[in-house]
Structure 1
Amino acid sequence: MASATVASVSSASSSEPVSPTAGDYLLSVKSYLKIVMHALRYPHATVNGVLIAEKKGKTSKQIRIVDAIPLFHSGHGLAPMTEVALTQISEYCSKSSDLVIGGYYQVNDAFHEHPHPIPTVFAERIADKIFEANPDAVLFMISNFSLATSIDDITRLDSPFFMFQNIDGKWKLKSSSASSKGFALEAESAILELTNELVFKKSHHLNIIDFDSHLENVKDDWRNPKLNEVIEQFVKSN
C-alpha cells in the first residue's frame, strides 16, 4: 500500500443509525481487554488499532473478533507508518488460514463526546482501506467517558463501544441502543474478572505494546504474546 493511496481515500461519516441487527459481531475477551488496556495506558492520547477476525464461513451468521492489535498512541495520522503496520499485520494474518483483518478501532483524546465519539477523517481512511479488502470490516469508536464509568459494571461493559458500518461508502453508526448495537461481548463475567485482576490489581495495561513502542524498540512485540497467554489461560480455566 502506498501512502499516497491511503491519503487519497475520501469518505464521510454519519451518526444516523443503520437498521439494527443485534449480535452480528462477537467481541472476544482478548480483543475487548486489549482495546481497553490500550486506551487506559494512554488516556491523554488518541489511540488506535486493528481488529483481527476469524474468516466468515459460508453458513456463519456472526463474525467473531478474536484479537486487537494496538497501533499508535502518537502520530496516529501518519499514513506511512500506518501502512507499514498494516502490511506487517496482513502478513501475520496470512500465516493462518482462519484469520483476516476484520476492522479498526480508535479512542479519541477527547473525554466528553456526546452522544458518542465520531470517527475522524484518518479513522475513516484506514477503515476504508480495510473495508476494500474485507467487506465485513467494521469500525469501532470507543468513548473515554464511558470507559471511566462502566468497565467495572457487568451490565454496562459494552457501553463505551460504538460500531460503525460502511453503508454506500459512508461510515454509519449501527445503533446506540444498548439492546441493538450490532455486536455482543463474549463471556462478560470473564471480561469483568480479568479487568479487575489485570487492570485494577496488577496494572498490566501499563505493559501493553503497540506499534509505536515497536518502532522505538524492535524487540517489543506488537502481538503482545505474553499478555495474550495470560488472557487465554484465564479464559480456558473458567
Structure 2
Amino acid sequence: MADIEVSIQAYCKLLLHAAKYPHCAVNGILLAKDNRSSDNKTIKFVDCIPLFHLTLGLSPMLEAALLQIDTYCRSIGCVIAGYYQANELLQDKEMNNIAKIIGKRIQENNNSNACVFMIDNERVSPNSTMEVYRVHIPKDTAWNVDKRQTVEEETLRVASVLLSSDACKQLVDFDCHLDDVSKDWRNIDLNDMIAKCT
C-alpha cells in the first residue's frame, strides 16, 4: 500500500464537518493529487468535500454530488481517492455497508488505492492529540485498518485552533448547498481561514 498524507486543509474540513453535526452521521469525499501517471506512489489528500449530514444513503443526490465533484477534480488536477464517514452513535466507528459500497465504487472508478476514513467521534475535540479517524484500505474483498500516521503535529494544532474558534459554523456541505445553491460546497472562505491559521 502506498504512503498516505493528509493536508491540513483536508483534515480540518473533515474534522469540522463531524464537529458541526455531532448529533448526525456525516460523510464526504477526499481529493488527492492525480499521480497515476508518475512513479510517486504516495497518496496526497489535498482537500475534502463534505457531502451530507441528513441522510448518507445511496441516492440521486449522492450521484449528482459525485458528478459535480468529479468535474471539479479534473479542473484542479485531482482525483476522488477517499471517503470519510462519522457514524451517528458516539462509540460507533465501524464501517457500515454505505462506507463499504462508496469505498468500493471509488476504488473501481478512480483509484485502486482508495481509502475509507472512519471518524472516531470520541476523538472530535480541540484537545485531541491524535488523528480523529482510522484509515481503512482495500485488501482482496475486505478493508484493513492502516495504523500509519497520516498527519503532522502542525495539522493537529491548526485543527485545535479552528475547533476552539467555532470555525465549523462556516462549513458548507452538499445538504446546505442543496437547500441554498448560493452556499459554495467548495468552502473557499473556510479554505482561506484554514490557510491563515498555518
TM-score (norm 2): 0.92
Report the AA paired with residue 199 of structure 1: L
Query: How does 1:147-158 map onto structure 2 within 5 Å?
Result: 147-148=124-125, 151-153=126-128, 156-158=129-131
Q: Secondary structure at the match of 1:131?
A: helix
What residue number does 2:8 align with?
29
Contact 2:11 2:155 in 1 (8 A): no
Alignment pair present for 1:209 and 2:186: no
What residue number does 1:132 align with?
108
Contact 1:38 1:47 in 2 (8 A): yes
- Structure 2: unaligned runs, 5 residues or longer: none
Per-residue CA distance 1:137-172 (angstroms, 9 max, x = gap):
110001001224xx424xx322x2101111113222
Q: Secondary structure at the match of 1:58?
A: coil
Q: Secondary structure at the match of 1:87?
A: helix
User: Structure 1 stretch 23-32 or stretch 203-212: which is displaced more?
Assistant: 23-32
Shift of 1:51: 0.2
Q: Give aligned pairs, total.
A: 196
Partner residue of 2:134 out of 162, 179, 189: 162
Shift of 1:77: 0.7
Report the AA paired with residue 152 of structure 1: N
Q: Which whole-Å CA distance do the structure 2 matches of 1:145 and 1:196 have between them? A: 15
Shift of 1:183: 4.1
Cα 1:196/1:182, change in 2 over 3 Å: closer
What residue number does 2:67 align with?
87
Query: How does 1:175-214 map onto structure 2 within 5 Å?
Result: 181-186=147-152, 188-192=153-157, 194-200=158-164, 202-214=165-177
Q: Which whole-Å CA distance do the structure 1 matches of 2:32 and 2:5 have between them? A: 9
Runs (4+) of structure 1 moved beyond 3 Å?
Answer: none
Shift of 1:83: 0.8
What residue number does 1:71 align with?
51
- Tell which structure's C-alpha radius of gyration is larger: 1
Q: Which whole-Å CA distance do the structure 2 matches of 1:212 and 1:157 have between them? A: 29
Query: How does 1:1-20 map onto structure 2 within 5 Å?
Result: none
Q: Which whole-Å CA distance do the structure 1 matches of 2:82 and 2:149 have between them? A: 13
Contact 2:115 2:137 in 1 (8 A): yes
Report the AA paired with residue 30 of structure 1: Q
Contact 1:24 1:183 in 2 (8 A): no
Report the AA paired with residue 197 of structure 2: F
Query: How does 1:49-68 map onto structure 2 within 5 Å?
Result: 49-56=28-35, 58-68=38-48
TM-score (norm 1): 0.77
Q: Secondary structure at the match of 1:59?
A: coil
Report the AA paired with residue 66 of structure 1: V
Query: How does 1:105-144 map onto structure 2 within 5 Å?
Result: 105-113=84-92, 117-133=93-109, 134-144=111-121
- Structure 1: unaligned runs, 5 residues or longer: 1-20, 175-180
Q: Which whole-Å CA distance do the structure 2 matches of 1:53 and 1:67 have between them? A: 7
- Bigger RCO (CA 8 Å, 6+ sep): 1
User: Structure 1 stretch 47-56 or stretch 76-85: which is displaced more?
Assistant: 76-85
Q: Secondary structure at the match of 1:185?
A: coil
Report the AA paired with residue 37 of structure 1: L
Q: Which whole-Å CA distance do the structure 2 matches of 1:120 and 1:25 have between them? A: 22
